[in-house]
Amino acid sequence: MNHFALTIVGRDRPGIVSQVTEILYNLGCNIADSSCSILGGQFAMILIVAHPKFSNRDSFGDTFQPLEDADLTVALRVLKPGGEVRPEIEGDLCMISVYGADKPGIVYRVAKVLGEKNVNITDLNTKLVGTQERPVYVMVLEVTLPQGIMEEDLNRWLMPVRDELQVDISVRTIPRVEL
């Protein structure tokens, strides 16, 4: 089975997910993984899809033209074998929450510390909340800690960022659930 990464971006409106998934269903595609979000006023969707016979972008023909006609941007990428498989990431899961006055550099400074310490960011979401006069930046990260790294270490490493940017940062370990 061949796998593809499909990205859809455009002004948010009801029905985008329905329109995209109808096209995929009619093509005989299987959705292996997906993520959707509203970023600003834009709807963003990325899917990993599989098809038993399609081998390249041309296999899809002009199937996504109705999406583009509806003012959505569509990008399709062929994945190399194994690119659809989520790697098994060893280590404890943690949630990091960051709250503070909106300013440039919050995502970068937190991500830089995590990258330098080999902490893998597995999910990251940001939003502006509050009022237009007093916007509050909210960032929530799911991370995997390398072997031997504890929640306390992460708190200590993020302390300078907390102080420098004057933001609230909290870290908590997430217990793994086995089904």
- Domains contained in the chain, number: 2
Structure tokens at 123: 């999910």
Strand order from edge to edge, sheet including 2-11: 30-39, 42-51, 2-11, 73-78
Please count the CA atoms within 13 angstroms of the CA of 15 that sit on its side-chain side.
Answer: 6
Check whether residue 103 and residue 60 sit in a common domain: no
Is residue 31 one of the residues assigned to a domain?
yes
Query: What's the whole-model pTM score?
Result: 0.74
Check whether residue 110 and residue 62 sit in a common domain: no
Per-residue pLDDT reduced to its tens digit, 75-127? 999 998 766 666 666 778 999 999 999 889 999 999 999 999 999 998 999 98
Give strand pairing partners of 46. Answer: 7, 35
- Of the three residues 45, 78, 111, the one that is the final residue of a domain is 78
Domain hosting 26: range is 2-78
CATH number at residue 103: 3.30.70.260
Is residue 116 one of the residues assigned to a domain?
yes
Check whether residue 71 and residue 103 sit in a common domain: no
pLDDT of residue 41: 87
Is residue 104 one of the residues assigned to a domain?
yes
Exposure string of 130-141, with b = 16+ CB inside 10 Å and e = fewer, is: eeeeeeebbbeb
